[in-house]
Copies of this chain bind each other. A is one copy, B any other.
Amino acid sequence: MFDSIDMNILKLLQKDARMSASDISRKVDLSISAVGERIRKLEKADIIKQYTTTLDSAFFEKELTAFMLISIESPNVSPRFYDFIEQEKEILSCFYIAGDYDYIIKIVTKNTSTLAEVLDRIKSLEGIIKTNTMVVLDTKKEQNTFYI
């Protein structure tokens, strides 16, 4: 169904989502229309989830990243917890995990004082047993997604 040419097209689109079908056609040695059809099929098969743009965090004053481990009392409080997570714009991700804690969340904010505000809002939620915040000092590697 999908061959190595498709994988090559995906690789190129991962590097530059705005690459034109004609540029891709030159790289993969196929006609423009064939490339266009393959891309359409990859989109339809939902192998391509989204074309997105990565912006400069510094420009938007989002220079502080932190991870927070959270333990909650019982599964009952989870729905309210999820609602909170959902609407907090500075919480980028939240994973339910196995281990000493129940959740790990990633926070991206302006500075230590805006981080403190987010932490206070989390800690004031009902049912939070314990938290552990790890402030990021340096980013050694950061990929949004796996690269093929």
Report the nearest B residue to A10, measured CB to CB: B55
Please state the number of chain copies in the assembly: 2
Decide: A62 near B144, CB < 8 A? Known: A56-B49, A135-B99.
no
Contact size range, A: 35 or more
Min C-beta distance of A32 to chain B, whole Å = 15
Taking CB atoms, residues of chain B closer than 8 Å to A144 are: 52, 54, 92, 144-145
Decide: A16 near B51, CB < 8 A? Known: A46-B56, A56-B46, A145-B144. yes
Q: How many angstroms from the CA of A46 to the CA of B93 in the assembled complex?
A: 25
- Which residue in chain B gives the minimum CB-CB distance to A101? B134
Q: Are B55 and A47 in contact (CB under 8 A)?
A: yes
Smallest beta-carbon distance A65→chain B, Å: 7
Q: Give the CA-CA distance A53 to B54 in the complex, in Å.
A: 10
Known: A13-B53, A52-B17, A92-B143. A137 touches B67 (CB 8 A): no
A49 to B60, Cβ gap below 8 A?
no
| Nearest CB on B from A38, distance (A) | 13
